Amino acid sequence: MGRKKKQELTTQKSVTTAQIKRLVKKALKDKPVYKPAKGYKFLKDLNIGSLFATESGMRGVLISCDTNATIIVTKSYDNDQLGKKYISSNTEVKEITKV
């Protein structure tokens, strides 16, 4: 029986390089477009210096934003996380407007 299974594995249709390239090109072309939840924005959509709050209760100020956002945490659910941090620029936050 061992020989029969080995023969079945080797008789599968092989995939050509052209087929692989076509599949990769299509996969890279069809990227999903993500939107933040209602009432939220992505950090990358905020202006530098904006105040924000996350759903977990963390508050901070946006310093810079590229692939990763540099922030200063001013309030946190545990005070161990205060100070300068790097988080994803795709983090959903609520912008705090100055009153």
Q: Number of helices (H) and strands (E), helices first, in the chain?
A: 2, 6
Q: Do 43 and 52 touch, CB atoms closer than 8 A?
A: yes
pLDDT tens-digit readout, 39-78: 999 999 999 999 999 998 899 999 999 889 999 999 988 7
What's the CATH code, domain 41-96?
2.30.30
In the prediction, which pLDDT does 6 show?
Answer: 57
User: H helices within the chain, ranges in order?
Assistant: 2-10, 17-29
For the whole model, what pTM was predicted?
0.66
Bridge partners of 72, per DSSP, are: 61, 84
Q: Do 93 and 87 touch, CB atoms closer than 8 A?
A: no
Return the ∠ at Cα 50 (arms to 47 and 56), rounded to 5°.
120
